[in-house]
Structure 1
């Protein structure tokens, strides 16, 4: 979300502990319905609305 807060699968308790030990604020989320769509947090939390114009990253 920003340089201090991160979204983490709530089932990944080890990752949450590791991130918190490194100074991050881990925000556990349940995202059990994402698997049928073949996505993970990077796609599951993808912003659908942005400020600014379209950019080509190719």
Structure 2
């Protein structure tokens, strides 16, 4: 699922209205860290299952 430019603008505007401009950068950082940790965990699980098959 890819977001287009218009959808990204709408999400940004809604985020600004709900959280305000001072909270938005910290929420973005937290979301980025969460996604990074999730991907790292998934990668480790995939590596472990590949090792178990050998």
TM-score (norm 1): 0.27
Name the structure with the higher strand share: 1
Computing the radius of gyration from Cα coordinates, the structure with the larger value is: 2
Name the structure with the higher helix share: 2
TM-score (norm 2): 0.28
